[in-house]
Chains A and B, each alone.
Chain A
Amino acid sequence: MSKLRAAAVSFLNARPLYAGLAGSARVELVMAEPSACAALLERGEVDVAILPVGALAGHDYELVPGIAIGADGPVETVVLCGDEPPQAWEEVFLDTASRTSVVLAQLALAGMGLTPRFTPLPAADGIPQAVGRKGALVIGDRAFDVQGRGGQPGRKKKHVLDLGRAWTEATGQPMIFAVWAARPGVLTPEDVAELTIGAQRGLGLRTELAAGFAREVGGDAEHYRRYLTQRIRYGLGPHELTGLETFLSRAAQAGLLPETQLRFADDRIRSQRTRRRVSLDTALQKGADGERLDADEAEMLDEKAPLLELGLAADARRRALHPDGVVTYIVSRNVNYTNVCTTACHFCAFYRPRGHAESYVLTRDQLAQKIDETVALGGIEILLQGGLHPDLAVDWYEDLFRWVKSRWPMINLHALSPEEIWHVARVSQLSLDQTLDRLIAAGLDSIPGGGAEVLDDEVRRRIAPLKCSTDEWIEVMRAAHQHGLRSTATLMFGVGEESRHRVAHLLRLRGLQDETSGFTAFICWTFQPEHTRLEPGDNGAHAYLRVNALSRLVLDNVPNLQASWVTMGGGVAQASLHMGCNDFGSVMIEENVVSAAGTTFQMDSEEVERHIRDAGFTAFRRNMRYQRLEAR
């Protein structure tokens, strides 16, 4: 097999995208300047390239979904500089290395009402000439120098206009500078997977890349690390796509670039596995009797079994596990401490880039009010989850947890999904074990099972390329269970996955549960598509009830199943109590993530109990470990 030829640029910010590809059996790297990348791709000398987005214009290149080089706010490495402020410039030298930055500079200056004369000139010549009433565009690593932060402090310029900042201030959107783009029809699904995995690996090497860069050109390694981890964004989710589309359309309106329609490389792998023939009735009966189902049986049930048959079998299991007809619920509050997130998942309507007008990090006062309200309503738990905020390290969480535990010692701190724990470990440069030890010492009681989505890397790469992998998610859960924490497990489906993906997910959870017995409960729900850009698969109530019942049968070692009335409404959740569930989740004091995607069911404890009773069960409050609390 001939290798995929991939053109990459040596700029620091591009390194995380390809550093993980060193030694790849599938991809051969060719290093080039940004504008040369475009020429190599156009001439067919490479198959795929890290391409400045301006070079997409007029071509039918296919983007690798999910990953990009961008910023929302200051970028540091695309700047205009001079001795005088931009308002004084009569002529601006445009570095010819990247058409994108040239267009961005022109749009930015026009946006400020400035119309200097533009003269193309290589940066090496432009910077020294940017004196008096002349400015220069500087991109890439040289831009560190003109701001006095690179290896050549003597090249600092007095006035610098950061074009990332200018763009985000003008539009409220992120600026995307470059993407992996390929000649149409060239990329196979395996290629897309390789590039995505390479980026994931590379993002994990940012500290080392920063240190290496400092050794190469001089300057402060810590500054470079912050640049890579906090300035540059590598996600290409809904916000970033909006920013990219805005850039391309404004450039087209201004006559600077031709009209461009974005296209994406198909990353779906159509591998077919031969499946053993199994009888529907036998599988159903096995499931109902609590015998272990294998992957073939589970997939066949997922695809073929009628809803009520699955439901009846699951109900038989629920009766066997919880024979006294009790349905439990908890009074808990879902608090999302920040909506700032760098992962940019396609299914998420909740996250905002840092610096976005709607982004937030809750203050202590806001948190105190929420927790006080929860306690007043009889709440015993706070479910604390948030986005992956690039500035928040382990000490921030330790302070927060200690503060919560000292003020409200009775509150169970059910906090940080595996994705967040990975993130805290990375930001803090700690091992997973160290991170967990410190969080537990600070008061962490248990872990929510969110962020699992579908635990199958084929699906994850498509819907959430920058999220942790299946193995990583499992690794955090295993470690957490080994540290004595209990957790829930979740599945979000209806994102166009197939039954083999759902079954793979359930089997991964079952396998870990065999090892650790750390999962207290399983909760599934369907993808809620409003305000997101991901096309839903089958995400209706019928599918929900089927997958929920199937989960009861496959997860023979997980004791409890929660009904998701928040996404499905009370009526469908009641039906699920007759098809496998034995828990009604939490009353809802606050929820932000699902409601951001358009679903707004609400219930207080009286209403939750009415639903449980009306469906023929006895209602009991519980704690996170599913111990029943005294009747009130």
Chain B
Amino acid sequence: MISTLAHRALERDGLGRIRDQVMNRERLSEEDALRLFEAKDLAALGALANHVREARHGDLTFYNKNVHLNATNVCVASCKFCSFARPDDKTASEGYTMSLDQAVEHVVSKRSLGVTEVHIVNGLHPDLPWEYYTETLRRLRAAWPELAIKAYTAVELHFFAQRFGKTVEQVLRELIAAGLTTIPGGGAEIFAPRVRRKLCDDKATADEWLEVHRTAHRLGVKSNATMLYGTIETLAERVDHMARLRRLQDETAGFQVFIPLAFHPEHNMIGKAFPKPTGYDGLRTYAVARLFLDNFDHLKAYWVMLGERLAQSALSFGVDDLDGTVLEERIYHMAGARTPQALSEPQLHRLIRTAGRVPAERDSLYRLLKVYDAPAPSAQAPSLPVVA
């Protein structure tokens, strides 16, 4: 149920029918999603999305303990929104490539921190051999058998297939054999060809991206899906993007979570032309995604990108997942993100609890590891000035 106030506000905005469809668990059309994007009343839109979120997950708010590995920033693609990629390994261009030993050590050194997942995303390096990738996974798997390895976006997997003369299925089978657990959702950007042509015309197309995920799902590998918003795309193109994901999900049910990503404007080719999308745009995008993507179980707000304050607010707009402690993020920070490099688990718990939610640690496959349902710390004041 939603409250009378929300019910009336949606009615006033001409969203009464959409509201009733959501309450009856009926699927929304692409036009409906567009109407929701253009809704005037953010709080009412949030209330509707929150209804869906609470129907699925109650107050549970998921996170995991993960470490990021960006083993190289050298990339042959020239995506105009990217601040991370460099053309070569030379010091002058700030390019870097970790050796296998460095990459493995980067991850294994976090072992004592309770990490359960490594998130690996790299540039499309022109020279690294196939064995670099399979060996990274194999060595990590050998050194740390219980670690979940979430590795290589569809764009990288597609690149591997082309560069090493393999099919996508071969690429995936070899990586699975080497230790792959899941596939991250990056590289989706915006599927619309108009946008891809302008922003990133030299990497996997929308169909190629979707085909990689379809193949992975067929091989039993779960994956995530992202959307980069706030560049040149129209609202209709955002809806089209989500619609393509929803269709594939109907087919495979292999996506675990949808993750909208805000464009960050610093240090890239188009930052001057496009300011960072505002927080309002983020909140409505979460809400619409929660309402439209009825076959996605989870919706993630990436706090590294949003900042802690907006991420906490997003928990009332459909979001049920805050990513994780995120050790050593590079990609967003090179685009000007000013968030901390990591949040401690108590900090995450506080963020979740003070939003009236319940922290729930998950693993890479969204299996619940632990619910921290202890009552929120009492509202009682720390009664004294703290003397360190």
Contacts and interface: CB of A to CB of B under 8 A. Distances in A.
Nearest to B44: A312
B196 to A, nearest CB: 25
Count class of interface residues, chain A: 35 or more
Interface in B303-338: 306-310, 312-313, 315-316
Interface stretch (B18-26, B80-88, B244-252, B349-357): B349-357
Nearest to B48: A308
Given A312-B43, A496-B381, A535-B386, A543 B354 contact: yes
B9 interface: yes
A288 B5 contact: yes
Contacts, number: 152
A308 B279 contact: no
A575 B5 contact: no
A318 to B, nearest CB: 10
Contact of A533 (B47, B309, B350, B386): B386
A45 B308 CA distance: 53
B307 A65 contact: no
B273 interface: no
A224 to B, nearest CB: 31
B186 interface: no
Contacts of A610: 275, 278
A462 interface: yes
Contacts of B309: 540-541, 544, 568-569, 571-572
Interface stretch (B119-127, B202-210, B280-288): B280-288
Nearest to A611: B278
B6 A574 contact: no
Given A571-B278, A575-B283, A542 B356 contact: yes
B40 interface: yes
A535 B386 CA distance: 6
A533 B385 contact: yes
A494 to B, nearest CB: 10
A607 interface: yes
Given A281-B4, A538-B354, A575-B279, A462 B43 contact: no
Given A285-B4, A462-B381, A542-B355, A315 B9 contact: yes
Interface stretch (A94-102, A259-267, A384-392, A405-413): A259-267
Contacts of B40: 616
A579 B43 contact: yes
A519 B310 CA distance: 30
Contacts of A499: 379
A445 to B, nearest CB: 33
B388 A496 contact: no
B333 to A, nearest CB: 16
B128 interface: no
B344 interface: no
Interface string B354-388: 11100000000000000000000001111111111
B9 A571 contact: no
A346 interface: yes
B275 A346 contact: no
A615 interface: yes
Given A537-B381, A571-B306, A578 B43 contact: yes
A614 B312 contact: no
Contacts of A309: 3, 5-6, 47
Nearest to A607: B275
Interface string B289-310: 0000000000000000011111
B231 interface: no
A311 B43 contact: yes
B310 A572 contact: yes
A316 interface: yes
Nearest to A237: B385
B42 interface: yes
B310 to A, nearest CB: 4
Contact of B310 (A346, A495, A571): A571
A497 interface: yes
A278 B372 CA distance: 31
B279 A569 contact: yes
Contacts of B3: 281, 284, 309, 312
B197 to A, nearest CB: 26
B73 interface: no
A65 B312 contact: no
Nearest to B377: A538
Interface in B90-118: none
B11 interface: no
Given A498-B379, A571-B279, A575-B280, A307 B385 contact: no
A249 to B, nearest CB: 12
B381 A574 contact: no
B283 A313 contact: no
B6 A312 contact: yes
B50 interface: yes
B318 to A, nearest CB: 11
Interface in A302-340: 306-309, 311-313, 315-316
A543 B275 CA distance: 28
Nearest to B355: A542
Contact of A540 (B50, B312, B316): B312
Nearest to B9: A312
A535 B313 CA distance: 22
A268 interface: yes
Contacts of A65: 384-385
Contact of B315 (A312, A542, A614): A542
Interface of A: 65-66, 241, 245, 262, 264, 266-268, 281, 284-285, 288, 306-309, 311-313, 315-316, 346, 462, 495-499, 533-535, 537-538, 540-545, 568-575, 578-579, 607, 610-611, 614-616
27 contacts: A241-B385, A264-B385, A284-B5, A288-B5, A311-B46, A312-B6, A312-B43, A315-B43, A495-B381, A533-B387, A534-B386, A537-B379, A537-B381, A540-B312, A540-B354, A541-B308, A541-B310, A542-B356, A571-B279, A571-B282, A571-B309, A572-B309, A572-B313, A574-B279, A575-B279, A611-B278, A614-B280
Given A575-B280, A579-B43, 11 more contacts: A307-B316, A309-B5, A309-B47, A312-B9, A542-B312, A542-B313, A571-B309, A575-B42, A610-B275, A615-B278, A616-B40
Interface of B: 3-6, 9, 40-44, 46-47, 50, 275, 278-283, 306-310, 312-313, 315-316, 350-351, 354-356, 379-388
